[in-house]
Structure 1
Amino acid sequence: MSALAARRAAVAARKADEKNQLCLKESALPTAAESTQNSEDYSVSEQEALLPSPKRRRTKNQEPRETNSRHFSKFPNSTVNISQPQAIIKDKISRTLLSEPAIENDLSGLDALMSDSDEDTAEDNYGEDEGRADERITPCSMPPISAGYSGHASPKYATPTVSIEVTSTFQPQENVNFFKLSEEKLSRTGIKYGNGPGVIFSLGRDESLAVAGIFTITPLQGALTLYHTTISPSSIQPSHPVFAPTSHPLPIISPSNFEGDLPPSIAINNINYPPSFQRKEKRILFLITENHCGLDGMRFGAIPGFTNIWLGEEDSWGLKGVYPVVKSSPTPVYPYVPAPSWTTALSTASSPSLDSEESFIALVKGPKRSGKSTFARALLNRLLAIYEKVCWLECDLGQGEFSCGGIAGLWIIENHLFGPPFTHPAVPMKAFYLGTYTPMACPDEYMAAIQSLLEHYRYEIQYPLSSSSSSSKITNRIPLIINTQGWIKGLGEDLLRAVENLAEPNRVFAFKQESPEGDERSGWSNSPQWKNSQLPYDPSYPAGMTDGIEKEKKVFELEQAPTLPLQARYTPADLRVLSIITYFHSTLPPSSSISNLSWDLTSPLLTIPPYKVSLSPTGPLSKAFLIGEGSEGVLEEDLGLALNGAVVALVEIIAEEEEDGKNILYRPGRKPLACDCLGLAFIRGLSPSTTGYDLHLLTPLPPTSLSRATAIIKNGLIELPLPGLLDWRRGGVTEDGMVGRCWDEVPFLDITRTEVIAGERRRWRRNIGRKGM
């Protein structure tokens, strides 16, 4: 054992003796100095053991550690053996680790607390050298979730967590405030939405219910609220799909504060209620049914670490995949509890007058993990109560709301969103593929794409040509929500400011940026904030000189979403893996609608029959473009090697090409023409042909979108994650190989671990960076 490890072991033993107050005999407990004398050839004094140990480089002679933490999870055998009292043992049993998914996921090689910023690559290994905190929390058996530090980073940079109770106050009494309906009885009521049996709930004004799983909710009487959105009985959209995995905040269903008269659902009189069932006018009635969309197939193991986010197959209430959280939960969960400033901002900013002709353009900005996407979804749902359609501009390349990253685009949304991003992928109205999770390497292309998307919104979407006058909602204009990235420093700040100047929003929702405490050294302070001031306006200036004058806009300052210890189970890198794997297992509808989505996660991607498409100058796909770092060096004869096993974008070329390039499939260094991105595809294999290649493609795009594709774009920065390449079925992967072939014959995988120069994972030193940069 090294001297560094001996000092740490001694300090750990000393602290354990003070905190746990163990009953030890004085003869059985050696001093810190004595305990370290038993460790190899080093010895340190008690005074030295209390001194902070300097950071040292890892060496090959260092003994292996059982955890990835800087400190031992238990005392070394060479120091002291402690027999703990039974009370302490019981206390430790009650403080379990996070959950099975967190243990199943191999955190040692994943990114830690990274986001869509310039630190995306640098933070891949942040926390790996620094170590991870030994977090122990109480499983949510109502009420509390204990506090601590979130994330895998060191406490110096981690965000303090808060204690939040799951506010489920509903006390179930069968045939009094809830009763079950079989599938046959449910079909007689005329409700055609949802699958299988259902349960009708009756909530009082002071009751609330937390629900986990995949289900469809249908309001029957009164208005209810979930995810900051009010829904009521409606003939246009009577039911709403809800996705509530335990990896994300659970919805809290509660009565709305709406005091107007709402007509009940037409089907409410077709239901045979028990005599004792409470269905007074002041109570809120709603129906929950199963939703057989196929997303619960993740429990078969398609995505390691996310196997149990939908819990078991059937609850005691008789609904498959639906779990009302009333008393306890088999896995730790946490509720959707927004900051109070969110409610104020949503109520004051999303209530324009029906007679007003002002276009609603909202921009949401803030640091990473502040709750931007969650708030933007709540804003979209709030606007859908007023407008018939809402346009969404995605500027976040790292974690897109309707795509799996690397795409900046526009989506037209007509239905409410009740679920995390991976539950509602959609075909974009117009999009550009950049093929990277951060615009750090392509800021010019990024800004050109955002500018083109904003122009398309202003001239093609903002004021639709046809609108319905019979609808009670606003149909003559479509509002815009701009979801920005969390990179707000350095170049990211310049890009964010440029996007805001181009969009000219009249509503800006800015999240407060909390700087870590104690990060300033003595004698140093934070850098001063630059404030821009506009020169006085002069009407005699030419027309183009005053374009930069900001229009009047309302700015709403929001608090960041509370950070809970459970959120540290999954990093943004994990969520990106989840998004791209579920994307390729999905079947997208022809339009940007999210109401008819389905997934098939019962079998791996290698068992799905692919599309066979010709890539040649005269074929359906006539062009191939390679972008990104190093793409200029790929020769024409090596195009097949570059494309095989790659994730590519299917695009539709909308610009005319010069005559000398029409019959050329690929040219090194050629930039992509003006085109629209339709979606992503995975090239599972290819074979050379006389004029090009025959591609075997896996893609969730519908045939109507595939018929528009005329070219492909590849950037090597986005690849299919490892789970998508494996046969994750039981017995599918063995020591000898996979699907009946040895590892040497399995494509795209190499397990030889050949030692090469610079073949190890890059490690970044975070202790030499200047604060604020």
Structure 2
Amino acid sequence: MGMMKRKAEKQAAAPVSAVAARKARQQQAQTVTAPKNAPAVEPAGEPPSKKPRRSLEGYETAETNGEGRRVPQTPAAKKQNNEPLLAGTATKRQTRTARSSKPETQSRVQDICENPEDEESEVYTAEGVGEMNEDDVASIAGDADGYESPAEPAIELQNFPLSKIRLSKSNIVYSDDSTLCIRIKEKTNLAVLGQYDLWVKKGLVSLMGAKLHPSSRLFRVYAPSTHSLPVIKCVSGVDGEAEIELKSCSSGISRLRDLNLLYQKVWNGGNTAADKISLKGALKNSRRTFSVLYTSADDTLKRHLRPLHLDKKWSSSMKALSMRQGRLRALVCGPKASGKSTFSRYLLNHVLSPAPETENGYTNADGVAFLDLDPGQPEFAPMGQVYLAHLRSPFFGPPFTHPSLDDSPDGEMVRAHHIGATSPKEDPDHYALATMDLMDQYRALLARYPQCPLIVNYPGWIFGQGLEVATWLVKCLGLSDVVYMSEKGPAEVVEPLGLAAHEAGVTMTILPSQPTDFVSRSSAQLRSMQIQSYFHMSRPTGLSTPLWLETPLSLSRPITVDYAGARQGILGIMVMGSQINLDLLREVLEGAIVGVVAVESPHVIAGAVSNGASGGDDEENEPVSGVDVDMNLDERAIAGSSTMSIADSVTRTPHEDLPYLFIGSGSCTPLDPKASHCLGLALIRSVNPSSHQLELSTPIPHSQLSESLKSGYGIVLVRGQLDNPNWAISEEYHAARAAERRYQQSVTQTRKGGDAGSEKKGGDLEQHNQTLALLRERVRRASSVPWMTVVEDNSRRQREAAARREKSLWKLRKKAYPGSESETDC
């Protein structure tokens, strides 16, 4: 750990390039006759979990025919297919055959949007709203710098088997327009797309690693098309059958499609063949929030769907690890896109499986501690955080369906720390300090729950300096097991990990890589979806499941906080990285995502010395070194912070009087994790210098903020290096477009329903024109907001010209659709 400050050595220490490894796998895959979408790491006989992915930034404006071939567009077609885009300052298109730069924002996916989503109970087809084409999905595999796989030719969708059961009168117990109760035979499974509540009435079924016995409890399941579909499998049952009930639910998460095109075509579409059988006798046009699929061809939206199958070695390893019961302390690590998150999620659900009410065996009454050390793709928190969570019930769904544990009855956030970046490599020292503090919290948790096992999810930062951190954790965390998710090595990684495990007396298990979590969004896009879900999720009192609100943040009521004066509520505002000019602080903050950090002590500057310098790269100022880290952390925190407090480090800006908190030499020293913790994230909507107030939007519960203030904690806002909140800038625009589109289609359906008299027609026409004018005015106003530019012409030349003219941070390119004069009259 003494080498963590040497940034140059970090780059040179990586023994194996993830890019080179990926190219080798692709060359090997080309020599076999398997389908192009079969990943090289898949075991023989297993279905492919991912398909070839294409670079979104390298996508050029063109249409594809039914066979996936690009066809030229006429000038009229190009005008017809102008599409929305929310991009960063660099809008230059790259070639399809290579990609070297990281996508700046999630909204580049809108370059390939063409058609609307048809899902849940809201039936309409929006001719101008984007569709996530599954043939043009972005890569999620890459190194820590966000490398995306080279683009590959589009392939035709395959008719892939999903379920081993077909619905009929013999296995349908009862059904209506919202409920389906069926019997499943042993060793068979059922694939369901959408969201639903699952009730196990008879038998034993497995779902996402959990074994569910008959009980009166309902389990909320989210199965979007962005990930591999979880399957419901009958393990054992009465007379060889299990009986389950699926019930439609309305969580509101599907309505986020009106705010962000990334949420389009995520849930179930029209009724499938299985749905039509079970809906016989129901009302016409009845639709549930879930659909049963026999094969991928049953999907009415023609998406690239795959079931989620686990390797047999994975299953046996989960069983062996769960046998340790309360003594389990497992670290899951491995290369990127090897299935670490999937394995951790399934292992967590397996250990949390509720025991049957009549069983007298081991019962996990103490829950499971989940230490998530992956700030780029956290499971139960938005990006940029590492945390310790105490969970009491399994979770069924990808991370964007449970982005927060605030007020959750199924778990709680014990402690979280704001890293301010999606990769630990930005500040390994702070990352190590936060990790050790979370381990101290776990030891304190054991005093109340002595049989609480621990699962540690380590990020894909496993090469070079990341390997150094991983081996240090193996030696210091007191683990029982280390699970490495790759049988192909490399030896430069496996050997040091194995040696560290041997020295610490820890069992090391090597499992095959299995990227079973098929996703049709890149890592950056999934982070965008998760953080947007985080800001729109709420937990009303009395409900055990969360709800999502589709109101744009710009229309919601902000929280007003004084940053100066007698009622000052913010101790300081910290900007991670290099020191900035005081005159630029306001521009840096407005429209940014910040961490809301509660300061437990005024002496919270980690590693600060009396002269205010952090010590640079001197060896004597390194906070940790090898196995002595555990006993050095407390000593250095006390010695370093005894003479430096926040009040001594705050500098007021000359014009706005903002409390700028900076300590260090060259780069900002972060807050000490032992004297601070993160409450959540907030979006700074504006800075008002005249009233000395900040306007914030945050989903942090008021009770949590009040409790922190009553405890005497101060609040510090930390601006890190998180992705720009482009989704928040364009929410109102997309919502306005969706409202206009729905109104036009409702009028069209009304006209088709009957023919009224001419006088009534005239009155309806006048009312229609007035309403449509108001909706178009809303679209116009929503398209004229800061940091966003509407470009009518979709040609590359016009986009590049607009990029040169406009130096704003975010841009939005709109697509004109028939009947929307507001898109063409400007």
**Equivalent in the alignment of 2:432:** 447
1:640 aligns to 2:586 (yes or no): yes
1:597 aligns to 2:546 (yes or no): yes
Instruction: Pick which of 655-664 and 305-314 moved more.
Output: 655-664
Structure 1 residue 324: Cα displacement: 1.1
TM-score, with length taken from structure 1: 0.65
1:392 aligns to 2:391 (yes or no): no
1:655 aligns to 2:613 (yes or no): no
Q: How does 1:546-695 map to 2 (within 5 A)?
A: 550-562=503-515, 567=519, 569-588=520-539, 595-601=544-550, 603-616=551-564, 618-619=566-567, 621-630=569-578, 632-635=579-582, 638-657=584-603, 661=647, 664=650, 666-670=659-663, 671=669, 672=671, 674-689=675-690, 693-695=692-694
Q: How does 1:149-164 map to 2 (within 5 A)?
A: none
**Identity, % of aligned positions:** 24
Give deviations 1:354-405, integer Å, cap 9, x for gaps: xxxx632111011111111111111111111342311111111110001121
CA distance 1:65–1:321, change in 2 (3 Å): closer
Q: How does 1:191-270 map to 2 (within 5 A)?
A: 197-234=178-215, 238-257=217-236
**Equivalent in the alignment of 2:156:** 137
Candidates 173, 181, 187, aligned match of 1:178: 173
Structure 1 residue 684: Cα displacement: 1.4
CA distance 1:534–1:361, change in 2 (3 Å): closer
8 Å Cα contact 1:251-1:336 kept in structure 2:
yes
8 Å Cα contact 2:563-2:659 kept in structure 1:
no
Give deviations 1:230-282, integer Å, cap 9, x for gaps: 101235xx11110000111112112114x8xxxxxxxxxxxxxxxxxxxx643
Mapped to 1, the partners of 2:475 and 2:116 lie a distance apart of 43
Mapped to 1, the partners of 2:439 and 2:780 lie a distance apart of 51
CA distance 1:407–1:704, change in 2 (3 Å): same
Candidates 720, 725, 735, aligned match of 1:729: 735
Give deviations 1:593-643, integer Å, cap 9, x for gaps: 994322113x3222222222222365463322323223x1232x5443332
Mapped to 2, the partners of 1:652 and 1:397 lie a distance apart of 19
What SS class does the counterpart of residue 734 from structure 2 fall into?
coil
Give deviations 1:450-478, integer Å, cap 9, x for gaps: 111111211x21231xxxxxxxxxx5321
Mapped to 2, the partners of 1:594 and 1:339 lie a distance apart of 37
Mapped to 2, the partners of 1:434 and 1:528 lie a distance apart of 25
Mapped to 2, the partners of 1:641 and 1:109 lie a distance apart of 36
CA distance 1:732–1:757, change in 2 (3 Å): closer
Mapped to 1, the partners of 2:808 and 2:401 lie a distance apart of 38
1:463 aligns to 2:442 (yes or no): no
1:434 aligns to 2:456 (yes or no): no
**Equivalent in the alignment of 1:703:** 702
Which residue type is aligned with residue 788 of structure 2? L
8 Å Cα contact 2:63-2:70 kept in structure 1:
no
Candidates 308, 332, 341, aligned match of 1:364: 332
**Equivalent in the alignment of 2:758:** none
**Equivalent in the alignment of 2:456:** 482
**Equivalent in the alignment of 2:246:** 288
Mapped to 2, the partners of 1:613 and 1:108 lie a distance apart of 46
Structure 1 residue 515: Cα displacement: 7.4
Instruction: Give the number of the structure whose alpha-carbon radius of gyration is greater.
Output: 1
Give deviations 1:320-343, integer Å, cap 9, x for gaps: 211111352223311011111111
Mapped to 2, the partners of 1:529 and 1:371 lie a distance apart of 17
CA distance 1:138–1:364, change in 2 (3 Å): same
Structure 1 residue 645: Cα displacement: 1.2
Mapped to 1, the partners of 2:486 and 2:207 lie a distance apart of 25
Give deviations 1:636-689, integer Å, cap 9, x for gaps: x54433321111111211113467817956245234353110111111123125
What SS class does the counterpart of residue 324 from structure 1 fall into?
strand
CA distance 1:492–1:733, change in 2 (3 Å): farther
1:510 aligns to 2:510 (yes or no): no
Give deviations 1:387-436, integer Å, cap 9, x for gaps: 23111111111100011211011111111111111111224321110110
1:414 aligns to 2:414 (yes or no): no
**Equivalent in the alignment of 2:13:** none
RCO comparison, higher one (Cα < 8 Å, 6+) = 2
Instruction: Pick which of 373-382 and 328-337 moved more.
Output: 328-337
CA distance 1:598–1:550, change in 2 (3 Å): farther
What SS class does the counterpart of residue 346 from structure 1 fall into?
helix
CA distance 1:660–1:698, change in 2 (3 Å): closer
Mapped to 1, the partners of 2:331 and 2:514 lie a distance apart of 17
What SS class does the counterpart of residue 377 from structure 1 fall into?
helix
CA distance 1:754–1:505, change in 2 (3 Å): same
**Equivalent in the alignment of 1:376:** 344
Mapped to 2, the partners of 1:216 and 1:291 lie a distance apart of 7
Structure 1 residue 552: Cα displacement: 2.6
**Equivalent in the alignment of 1:19:** none
Structure 1 residue 572: Cα displacement: 0.9
Candidates 131, 138, 144, aligned match of 1:118: 144
CA distance 1:668–1:653, change in 2 (3 Å): closer
**Equivalent in the alignment of 1:747:** 786
Mapped to 2, the partners of 1:444 and 1:594 lie a distance apart of 41
Give deviations 1:291-343, integer Å, cap 9, x for gaps: 2111121333x222331111237754455211111352223311011111111
Which residue type is aligned with residue 613 of structure 1? V
Which residue type is aligned with residue 235 of structure 2? S
Structure 1 residue 73: Cα displacement: 5.6
Specify every segment of 5 or more residues in structure 1 that has no aligned partner in the other structure, as ranges.
Answer: 1-63, 78-96, 145-164, 183-196, 260-279, 465-474, 517-525, 536-547, 762-773
What SS class does the counterpart of residue 256 from structure 1 fall into?
strand
What SS class does the counterpart of residue 728 from structure 1 fall into?
helix
8 Å Cα contact 1:110-1:573 kept in structure 2:
no
1:169 aligns to 2:164 (yes or no): yes
8 Å Cα contact 1:604-1:728 kept in structure 2:
no
Mapped to 2, the partners of 1:210 and 1:732 lie a distance apart of 31
TM-score, with length taken from structure 2: 0.61
8 Å Cα contact 1:505-1:553 kept in structure 2:
yes
8 Å Cα contact 2:113-2:131 kept in structure 1:
no
Aligned length in residues: 560
8 Å Cα contact 2:369-2:455 kept in structure 1:
yes
Give deviations 1:496-550, integer Å, cap 9, x for gaps: 222222212102111115479xxxxxxxxx9797558989xxxxxxxxxxxx984
Structure with greater helix share of residues: 2
Structure 1 residue 706: Cα displacement: 2.3
Specify every segment of 5 or more residues in structure 2 that has no aligned partner in the other structure, as ranges.
Answer: 1-59, 74-111, 118-129, 280-285, 354-362, 407-412, 604-643, 651-657, 664-668, 741-775, 791-801, 812-826
CA distance 1:716–1:531, change in 2 (3 Å): closer
What SS class does the counterpart of residue 633 from structure 1 fall into?
coil
Structure 1 residue 119: Cα displacement: 2.1
**Equivalent in the alignment of 2:717:** 713
Structure 1 residue 747: Cα displacement: 2.8
CA distance 1:411–1:659, change in 2 (3 Å): closer
Mapped to 2, the partners of 1:110 and 1:627 lie a distance apart of 34
**Equivalent in the alignment of 1:305:** 262
CA distance 1:421–1:589, change in 2 (3 Å): farther
Structure 1 residue 203: Cα displacement: 1.3
